[in-house]
Structures are given as C-alpha cells and as structure tokens.
C-alpha cells in the first residue's frame, strides 16, 4: 500500500471520516427512533401513575395494555394543575406538564412552575395522584404518590430513578421501601402540611411522618424526603382550601 | 497478557483450533481479566450487590466486547497508530449509544435496567484493554473468540462476587429469599432465630475484600500465577 499511515494528512483524514460516519449513524438513529421512544415515554408515565394506585403486576397491567387501563381509572378531564401557592391554574393540561424538565430548569421562576394533580377512581372511591420529582445521589429521582379520598392518607406510591446505585439507592423503587410510606399522612389535624423525615434508627414504622431510610442509600433516601416535602407541601395547601 | 496478542495465524487454521479454544478458556481461569489482570475493578465494586445486576452487566459487556473487537479487528490495518486509543473510544461509545437507543425504542424495560450501566460499559478498561492488546493485532475470528473469553471471564467473576454479597448482605439470591423474610416485624425462617443480614456486605469495600479473597485462593491453588520479584 502506498499510503503512509503515519502521515499527518492520513491521521487527520481518518479522524474526520470516522467522526462524520459515526455522527451520521447516531443522528439518523436518534431521529428515526424518536417517535417510538416518545410513545414509550407516554406509556411509561401512565404506567407510573397506575402503579402508584395499585399493584399493576397483580392486575396484569404492563406496557402493552397501560393505555386502555389508564383510561379506565383516570379521567384526564378531572385532572388539574396547581401553581406554587396551591391555586388552580387554568389553560394547562396536566398530562402534558413535564415536571422533570421544569425541575431541571433552574432559571424557571417558582411562580411559573406547574404542579399537576390527577384524579382517579379506584373501587368506587376517589384517589389523587401527585407526581413528584427531585434528585438522588447520581441523578434525578421521581415518583407518584397516591392519596386516599380523604386527601390526606398515602394510599400508595411508585418511585423511579435514573441511575442510583443498584442494591443501595436504587432500592427506593422496591415495594418494601414504598410500603413504608403507605398510611402516612401529609397534613396534621389543622390541615397544615406535616413534614416527612427519613430516619435511620428504625423508628419510622411506629411514628407518624417518619419513614425508615435505606441502609447504604442515605443520600438517595434523603433525596426522596426532600422531594416529598417540597412537592406535597403545594398540594396540601390546595387540599386544605378545597376541604373548607 | 500481550504474548498471545502478537502471534499471527495462518489462514488455513480451523475455526475451533486449540489456539482459538485457548483464547476462550484462558480468560475464564488463569488469565481472568479481573483477578489476574486486575481490570474492571470499579464496575466490579459498583454492581455486585445483586446477582441480577451482575448478570445484566456481564451480558452487556460481553455483547459490546464481541462487536467492538470485531469492528476494531476489521479496521486494524486502517487505524493510524497515533490516534488509535481515541478511535477505540469512539467505537465503544458509539456502540453503547446505538444499543441503548435501540433498546429504548423497542425494549424499554431492558433499557431502564441498563441505564445505570451505560457509563460503566464505556469506561470499562477490559473493553479498551482487549481492543488495544488483541483486536488491533489479530484477525476478526480470533478477536471474537478472545472477546467471548474475556467477556465471560468478567461476567463469571461479577456473578461469583455478587452471589456472596447478595446472599450474606440481603439474604436473597437473584431476588429470591433464601434465609426467609428479613423485614422487621414479619421475620420468617432463619431471621426468627436471631440471624441478621451483614450490612457491611452491601457496602463497596466488601466487594474489594471478596475479590481479594478470590485472588488469594486462585493464586494459592496455582503457584505459577504468583509474580516473581
């Protein structure tokens, strides 16, 4: 071969060809697959909301039938969006609000932030599903918290994360951790917000507003605490006002 | 590590010759990428808390290593030597992203499980190590064999470490309760007798200690592995 592989021009040429080729492949792939990925995201959002309300596995709800099942339980016309003071915001569709994106946007004013609230019907009783978002040790964490018809008692929850440590922080998505939240109340007798606290001494199951953390997952557990407190507070104001 | 890398093979060699088989079997035991070459330790620490994570990560690395070794081996006569490391990095990164994008679109559940590993796969030094030490100097077929051997050797060790950590740290194996239910207030099995999980096991230092013990056992059984100083 006549080409000198050590020459500068060959090195540059090779680098340019490689980068352009890889760049083209990746961008074609990303654009081509986007519609399918967005569809998956919507289904995932519906599935997350449903799994906060019930044991989706036991009911046989998966990605395949999430769309139909979601319609059965949740009426999106009843869903509302609150502002940071707990007042209803008109003209915003609850399901279209991307709270993860809003949370990431540090320049967004608190007054502009949207707080969606989904109203569902479960076994003839009303249930309220509140999406929450926060940050764990390595990246974002999120979840949905479902309240009973008294707008106070936590009936169920689902938590998710982007990349918490498997076996440690990632355990927030496991049923044993979620079960520790069930039965906790978000407001006290006066209807004011009752702050949650993640504890390490194992007293969480006995005391109100206290939840046991996860061994080895302290920062992620604390992230869940911060997430629940910041988000639920807004809703507790709305619930207090609407009960009057 | 590099003695096998410089040998070139005659074209008439059968696909499963002794030499090719050795490429697969060596990394499983006496040339294990983790215990002998001591590569890929950081991922061995991070994801050996549960067996399932070890299996997923092992499978992902095996897959990327096979494809990557093949691509690098096919391009080995074209890659300019001065930028070969960058080229290898681009190949791994592109492969991992392509796989991740495809999974996201067609197998979203698997993609969620893998999301945490994507960064770990790209930075895994076993992959770069095999590209540099083997695929750059060998034909595609032996490179694939080498990738299978090293991928399996890595996956095997991850699973071995994870078995110890999950069993003694959480009392489960692949998510199944072995010793009974450990949740406070509803204990069953061994836990009713006062057995408690060793929380130390699920913390990262224990992974290093277990890898250390495995290296020790391996070297005491095969004295030829001990370096002479």
Q: A14 and A112 share a domain?
A: no
B85 in contact with chain A, both atoms CB, cutoff 8 A: no
Give the model's pLDDT for residue B185. Answer: 66
Q: A200 and A82 share a domain?
A: yes
pLDDT digits (tens, 9 = 90+) for B187-198: 788 888 888 888
Mean pLDDT lowest among A104-113, B83-92, B133-142, B174-183? B174-183
d(CA B191, CA B181): 7
Partner-chain contact B87 A168, CB within 8 Å:
no
Please, is B124 exposed, middle or buried when counting C-beta atoms within 10 Å of its C-beta (0-12, 13-18, 19+)?
Answer: buried
Domain's final residue, options A26, A58, A73: A73
- Identify which has the larger pLDDT, B147 or A206: B147
Q: A43 and A90 share a domain?
A: no
B90, B166, B170 ranked by CB distance to A22: nearest: B90
- Identify which has the larger pLDDT, A225 or B224: A225
Range 4-43 of B in CB contact (< 8 A) with A: none
A48 in contact with chain B, both atoms CB, cutoff 8 A: no
Domain's final residue, options A40, A73, A106: A73
- Chain B contacts of A205, Cβ < 8 Å? 184-185
Q: Give the sheet arrangement for strand A125-135, strand by strand.
A: A88-89, A80-82, A115-122, A125-135, A140-147, A154-161
ipTM entry: 0.73
Terminal CA-to-CA distance of chain B, rounded, Å? 18
Q: A23 and A63 share a domain?
A: yes
Q: A194 and A103 share a domain?
A: yes
d(CA B85, CA B93): 12
Q: A65 and A123 share a domain?
A: no
- Chain B contacts of A165, Cβ < 8 Å? 46, 49, 116
Give the model's pLDDT for residue B16. Answer: 77
pLDDT digits (tens, 9 = 90+) for B103-124: 888 888 777 777 767 777 888 8
Residue A28: pLDDT band (50, 70, 90) is very high
Cβ atoms of A44 and A63 closer than 8 Å: yes
Q: A41 and A122 share a domain?
A: no
Q: Which domain holds residue A8?
A: 1-73
Q: A153 and A232 share a domain?
A: yes
- Chain B contacts of A19, Cβ < 8 Å? 90
Tally the domains of chain A.
Answer: 2
Q: A237 and A153 share a domain?
A: yes
Cβ atoms of A74 and A120 closer than 8 Å: yes
Domain's final residue, options A73, A102, A123: A73
Partner-chain contact B81 A6, CB within 8 Å:
yes
Q: A157 forms bridges with which residues in the sheet?
A: A145
Q: A132 and A69 share a domain?
A: no
If residue A117 lies in a helix (H) or strand (E), which one and from where to where?
A: strand A115-122
Please report, rounded to a whole number, the percentage of residues in chain A having pLDDT higher than 70: 99
Q: A84 and A23 share a domain?
A: no
Partner-chain contact B108 A162, CB within 8 Å:
no
Partner-chain contact B78 A14, CB within 8 Å:
yes
A14, A18, A37 ranked by CB distance to B105: nearest: A37
pLDDT digits (tens, 9 = 90+) for A107-164: 888 888 889 999 988 888 889 999 999 999 988 999 999 999 888 899 999 998 887 8
Q: A90 and A166 share a domain?
A: yes
- Chain B contacts of A36, Cβ < 8 Å? 105-106
């Amino acid at each position: 071969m006549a080409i000198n592989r050590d020459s500068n021009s060959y090195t540059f040429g090779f680098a340019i060809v490689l980068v352009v080729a890889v760049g083209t492949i990746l961008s074609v792939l990303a654009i081509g697959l986007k519609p399918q990925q967005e569809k998956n995201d919507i289904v995932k959002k519906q599935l997350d909301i449903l799994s906060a309300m019930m044991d989706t596995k036991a009911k046989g709800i998966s990605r395949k039938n999430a769309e139909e099942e979601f319609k059965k339980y949740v009426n999106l016309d009843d869903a509302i969006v609150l502002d940071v003071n707990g007042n209803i915001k008109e003209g915003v569709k609850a399901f279209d609000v991307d709270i993860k994106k809003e949370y990431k946007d540090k320049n967004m004013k608190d007054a502009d932030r949207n707080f969606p609230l989904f109203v569902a019907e479960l076994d003839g009783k009303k249930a309220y599903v509140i999406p929450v978002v926060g940050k764990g040790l390595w990246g974002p964490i999120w979840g949905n918290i479902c309240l009973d018809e008294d707008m106070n008692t936590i009936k169920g929850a689902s938590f998710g994360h982007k990349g918490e440590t498997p076996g440690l922080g990632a355990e927030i998505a496991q049923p044993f951790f979620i079960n520790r939240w069930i039965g906790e109340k978000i407001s006290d007798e006066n209807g004011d917000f009752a702050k949650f606290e993640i504890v390490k001494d194992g007293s969480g199951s006995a005391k109100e507003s206290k939840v046991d953390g996860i061994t080895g997952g302290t920062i992620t557990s604390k992230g869940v605490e911060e997430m629940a407190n910041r988000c639920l507070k807004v809703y507790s104001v709305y619930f207090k006002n609407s009960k009057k | 590590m590099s003695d096998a890398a410089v040998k070139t093979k005659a074209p008439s060699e059968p696909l499963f010759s002794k030499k090719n088989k050795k490429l697969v079997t060596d990394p499983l035991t006496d040339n294990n990428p983790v215990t002998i070459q001591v590569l890929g330790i950081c991922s061995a620490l991070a994801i050996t808390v549960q067996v399932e994570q070890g299996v997923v990560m092992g499978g992902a690395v095996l897959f990327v290593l096979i494809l990557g070794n093949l691509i690098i081996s096919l391009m080995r006569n074209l890659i300019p030597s001065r930028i070969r490391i960058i080229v290898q990095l681009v190949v791994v990164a592109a492969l991992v992203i392509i796989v991740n994008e495809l999974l996201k679109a067609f197998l979203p559940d698997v993609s969620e499980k893998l999301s945490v590993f994507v960064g770990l796969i790209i930075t895994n030094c076993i992959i770069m190590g095999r590209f540099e030490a083997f695929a750059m100097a060998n034909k595609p077929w032996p490179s694939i064999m080498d990738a299978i051997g090293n991928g399996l050797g890595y996956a095997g060790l991850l699973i071995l470490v994870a078995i110890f950590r999950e069993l003694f740290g959480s009392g489960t194996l692949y998510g199944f309760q072995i010793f009974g239910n450990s949740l406070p207030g509803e204990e069953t099995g061994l836990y009713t007798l006062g057995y408690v999980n060793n929380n130390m096991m699920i913390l990262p230092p224990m992974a290093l200690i277990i890898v250390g013990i495995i290296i020790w056992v391996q070297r005491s059984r095969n004295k030829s592995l001990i370096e002479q100083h």
